Amino acid sequence: MSHRLFVAIRPSEDAMGAMFDVMDGIEDARWQDETQLHLTLRYIGEVDTPQANDIADALSRIEAPAFDLELRGLGHFSKSHWPHAVWAGVAHSPELLTLQKKVERAVVAAGCEAETRRFLPHVTLARLNRSSGPIGDWLARFGDFHVGPMHVDSFLLYESTLTPSGSQYDPVVRFALSGKANLK
């Protein structure tokens, strides 16, 4: 059986509430719902069940302290000069960068290819397409977005399932930053 996996931090309830407050003002944007908001530490992709178990085992051995994190600013990703996603940025955090590097090492140790893309911490708020309205007014209106600090005491291994209405993200295992895994 194949599993489409990624590793992420789930934002606090307060942070999610603040993100929902800015989810308006872009015509035809596909805003993320509560189950879709996350800060990706590592996209893994399709793996079989034995490798998924190896990944979970490797992640369970990560030891890192809990830390505080702030969301700051909004931005967008573009393809061919067209915005395709808007996001909430993450303030610089040495603890987050350390955790992300440990996650990367664990995933590679479990047999996955090394990630070649630079880590750009963010939380995707909406997906856009060419029929979506302009984003300039939205960025100007909410550009001073700031949330935090929010306490991060765990990260999760998620399974992503593609559905006709978009991706569904299901937490599989929660890892306390002390390194202990608790089944979700």
> Shortest CA distance to 71 belongs to which of 147, 152, 144?
147
Active site residues: 38, 122
94 CB-near residues (< 8 Å, 6+ apart): none
Give the tokens for residue 78: 């573009």
Q: Are strands 154-163 and 166-176 parallel, antiparallel or unpaired?
A: antiparallel
Query: Which of the 8 DSSP states describes residue 119?
Result: P
Between helix 49-60 and helix 94-109 the angle, nearest 10°, is 140
Reference 107, options 58, 140, 71; nearest CA is: 58
Write the CA distances from 20 to 32, 68, 76, integer angstroms: 9, 21, 17
